[in-house]
């Protein structure tokens, strides 16, 4: 049903330097789920997220969010970029960065009020950084930096959260805290769309998957997407590991992440 759809992507093609990065992508995503975007390196995952955010111009096709154009619902959408894309030497504290989530396109010059400060402090507390809230972001660990940007997204009070590889370079404790937070967001009816590169942990993290390799290979629940045929179409020759993953999923014995495997 229409009111249960968070994101619609229709006939989306995006090209760089004359070659398609995404080709005729078409899907609808459910609300209130934790959704993973998976696929090999160079498959268009980040381009898809940027297209949904309106950060890249498609060659053709369109995106709707909650059955509206992005500009009409921009305040309902929050974005967590890759940690590597951020200038961590920028002179700002944890509190400063999270407060940025309270500014909107329509009120960039507004003065923050008591309610804003309360929301920011709550968001910082949710990611476990209260004792670091006055610390400069350059002085944080990688996992703490990742949590700062999740807190900024939480401070936006959005309905749809787009995250570009939030688990990369974080320690086990941060990973666990992010997972717990995602479950809390889902329980509140939020939709979380996450780019993820580690095929062996998708069964632990996600309710629903989008499998890409320039084209849409498959989308749906884990059992529908993680078939040998779909994975072969997406990843090509890496079939020994893929067969192992499929067999483990069938047995619902999900593997522990292997640090040296990056699909």
Does any domain span residue 258? Answer: no
Whether the pLDDT of residue 183 is over 70: the answer is yes
pTM of the entire predicted model: 0.86
110: which DSSP letter? P
Q: What is the CATH number of the domain that holds 16?
A: 3.40.50.300
Using the predicted structure, report yes or no on whether residue 16 has a pLDDT greater than 90.
no
Q: Is it the case that residue 261 has pLDDT exceeding 50?
A: no
- pLDDT (0 to 100) of residue 254: 47
Parent domain of 219: 2-250
> Is 261 a domain residue?
no
The pLDDT of residue 82: 81
- Please report which confidence band the pLDDT of residue 247 belongs to, taking 50, 70 and 90 as the band edges: low
Determine, yes or no, domain membership for 82: yes
In a domain, 77, yes or no: yes
With respect to residue 259, please indicate whether it lies within any of the assigned structural domains.
Answer: no
Is 260 part of a structural domain of the chain?
A: no
Residue with tokens 């989530």: 101
pLDDT of amino acid 200 = 82
How high is the pLDDT of residue 170? Answer: 84
72 within some domain: yes
194 vs 228 pLDDT, higher one: 194
Q: Answer yes or no: is pLDDT of 186 > 80.
A: yes
Q: What whole-number distance in Å separates Cα of residue 6 and Cα of residue 176?
A: 26
Residue 186 lies in a domain: yes
Instruction: Rounding to the nearest 10 degrees, give the CA dihedral for residues 177, 183, 188, 189.
Output: 140
Cβ neighbours for 70, distance < 8 A, ≥ 6 positions apart? 52, 53, 54, 63, 77
* Number of structural domains found in the chain: 1
7, pLDDT greater than 90: yes
């Amino acid at each position: 049903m229409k009111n249960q759809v968070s994101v619609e992507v229709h006939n989306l093609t995006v090209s760089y330097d004359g070659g398609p990065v995404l080709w005729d992508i078409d899907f609808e995503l459910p609300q209130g789920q934790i959704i993973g975007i998976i696929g090999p390196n160079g498959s268009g995952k980040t381009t898809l997220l940027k297209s949904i955010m309106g950060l890249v111009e498609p060659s053709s096709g369109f995106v709707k969010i909650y059955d509206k154009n992005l500009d009409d619902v921009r305040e309902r959408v929050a974005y967590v970029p890759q940690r590597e894309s951020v200038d961590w030497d920028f002179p700002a504290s944890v509190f400063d960065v999270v407060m940025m989530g309270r500014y909107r396109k329509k009120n960039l010059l507004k003065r923050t009020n008591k309610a804003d400060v309360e929301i920011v402090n709550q968001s910082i507390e949710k990611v476990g950084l209260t004792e670091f809230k006055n610390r400069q972001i350059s002085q944080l660990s990688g996992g703490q930096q990742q949590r700062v940007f999740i807190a900024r997204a939480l401070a936006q009070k959005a309905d749809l959260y787009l995250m570009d590889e939030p688990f990369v370079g974080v320690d086990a404790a941060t990973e666990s805290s992010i997972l717990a937070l995602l479950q809390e967001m889902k329980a509140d009816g939020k939709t979380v769309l996450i780019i993820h590169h580690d095929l062996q942990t998708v069964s632990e993290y996600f309710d629903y998957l989008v499998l890409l390799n320039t084209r849409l290979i498959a989308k749906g629940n884990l059992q529908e997407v993680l078939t040998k045929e779909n994975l072969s179409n997406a990843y090509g020759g890496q079939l020994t590991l893929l067969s192992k993953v499929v067999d483990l999923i069938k047995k619902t014995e999900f593997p522990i992440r292997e640090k040296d495997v990056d699909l």
